[in-house]
Amino acid sequence: MSESLRLDIQELRGIAVLLVVLYHSGAILPSGFVGVDVFFVLSGFVIASSVRRSIQVETFSLWSFIGRRIRRILPALAVLLTIVVFASSWLSSVASRVQTVRTGLFAGLGGANLFLYRFRPDGYFEVNEKTNALLHTWSLSLEEQFYLVFAIAIAIMARFVTSRTSRTVAFRAVALTAVFSFTLSVLISHFGISLSHPIFRSLLAADELDATFAFYLPVTRAWEFLAGVALCLVQRKLPLAARPSLQVVGFLLLLVSATVVPVKNFPGVFALLPVASAVVLLASSGDSSKLTLGKVGPPLRWIGDRSYSWYLWHWPMIQFVYPFSQTRWAQFAAALVSLIPAHLSHKYVEQYFRTATSWRSQTRTGALGVVCVFLPIVTLATTRDLEPSLGFHIDAELGCEYGDISRLYSGGPCSMTFDGATSTAILLGDSHAGHLSEAFLGASEELGMNAILAVRGNSPFLYTSGVRDNANPSETQQLVDLALDRNVDVAVIAQSDYSSNFAPGVDWEQAFGAVLEDLTSSGVRVLIVAQSVLMDSDPRMCSPIQIRISQCDQVVTRDSSQLFAARDRVPIETRLAEKFQGVALFDSGKILCPDETCSNRRRYEWWWRDGGHIAIPASTALTPHLSAAIRELLANE
């Protein structure tokens, strides 16, 4: 029986997408994300049913299966990615655009889930992750990966297993794989698995496999699809009298899932609830019957028919509204409005490529797949960053902020040489040093000095134990030794406060003083950059269109004297500069805020990219001042 006649499946799709939309729009259902798990079960069931029918009539082929998936999924996805990649230049918050675009490029290749795990391991449920307008494509990539592996497995099985035993063998293979996948999901979600080998830690950018891994990766999600596959293999028609009772049980399980399943440690054992509800509802509905939903059934089926397109469009629409309003009503309204592009996508893209016989040839289907992959890439190539002043500093662009010391030696990307240079300067510290990259490189070139960018965000440039530890050298100590090995003449150091990192009895002055003593005793001149001015505002939370129509509430003007008074570490830095020979203090705050008031936006450019870090224009403006400070430091004997 064709998928289109399974009215219960369309009703369940309608319910599943409603759960997800309500969750994403912040309305009513605190655990509506389980709708995705329902989709996984439905996908496994539908695909297995389709393959089973084609095998029975001996028409199954790997190419025809993959071709149908290409026509079913990629055109609508490609249209969405193309429009969102373009629109994000204007409508996404500045902070989220880069991640949105990168996610979109991987989504076009069926790897959004892998990208989101590897390069943004904060997790699906973290607030800062949710500004990504293409975050939701992780589930589509997961489905595509399942379809591919499933099709290959079926093709192999059809070749080597006889028809008499194929069903039994298939069920055992599905059951064993599902048990393994579920067990692994529970272990990783609830207990974690430590990664001892450095290769695995580097590959996965993690010290252990945790719930984030279980959420995004196919090996721990496969059992949900396979639950639907297993149901297809063992499905028996149930007595009509038993179906209403089972449906009540299924709906109760689904209601509980959508309201009480916790975010923490998901999926793990908690994913059993939505998966069980989907299995029970599918098993109780029968081949062509509807769910016992009365008058609610037809509108649910209408939504179910458009569930794929609505799933695609609802999240970007919510995110494009988010910079203007974070209220639930605004997000819910955006989700409802997204039904318009979803309906158009369903009618003119999804249905067209799904049903048009002219696109079923191998040549045209292959060409369609290639176009769908490259269309978003071409769109990205023709768009530009509309707020370049809020872009990444040079240290981040070159990858100099992740602590890989090998990148700092001669020939590495973080070691720059300038024509005629006769000495070397090094920039040390955390992100507060990194936001000085433009000024530092400009000053180094002006002074005829080679330059090394040796910064790492969220890492103090201090001996947190208060002294050198030659038996177990810290990264700070390794960088000090590198500076001495490279015969550095000047070290420019800037950093934030990390008092909580220190050993008992060690304070910031002692921890930093030990570093200064090591450097100066070896003849290195040190320029301490005074504590940064904090503006307590993040313009990256605004979208470019907001900024252009003067609706960005992150434009602030502060009293300069209050900004300076809040810098409680400057007296300690001043004392250290006076204590050590060959050390001076450079106060960028008084250069950036010379007047009674200080604004983070000037002459249509941002001078602070967030609450504590200056933007590229401000860093560039500091170049002559930093150059003068280094020249004076070198001139003082």
Q: For 580-591, how does the pLDDT look when each residue is reduced to its tens digit (9 = 90+)?
A: 999 999 999 999
Return all residues near 373 (Cβ < 8 A) that are at least 6 apart: 74, 78, 108, 109
- 6-31: average pLDDT: 90
Q: Residue 23: pLDDT above 90?
A: yes
Classified as helix, coil or strand, 552 is coil
Q: At CA 373, angle to CA 370 and CA 378, rounded to 5?
A: 105
How many other C-beta atoms lie within 10 A of the C-beta of residue 379?
20
Residue 22 banded pLDDT, cuts 50, 70, 90? very high
Q: Tell me the average pLDDT across 432-448.
A: 96
Helix H or strand E segment including 492: strand 490-494
> What b/e readout covers 68-89, taking b as 16+ CB neighbours within 10 angstroms?
bbbbebbbbbbbbbbbbbbbbb
pLDDT, residue 239, reads 66
pTM of the model: 0.86
pLDDT of residue 435: 95
Q: Which residues pair with 598 in a beta bridge?
A: 558
Confidence grade of residue 125 (pLDDT, cut at 50, 70, 90): very low
Dist CA 377 CA 385 (whole Å): 15
* Residue 3 predicted with pLDDT over 50: no
pLDDT in tens, 200-254: 777 777 778 899 999 999 999 999 999 999 998 886 666 666 677 888 899 999 9
HEC secondary structure over 166-191: HHHHHHHHHHHHHHHHHHHHHHHHHC
Packing angle, helices 222-234 and 137-160, rounded to 10: 50
Predicted local distance difference test score (pLDDT) of residue 4: 46
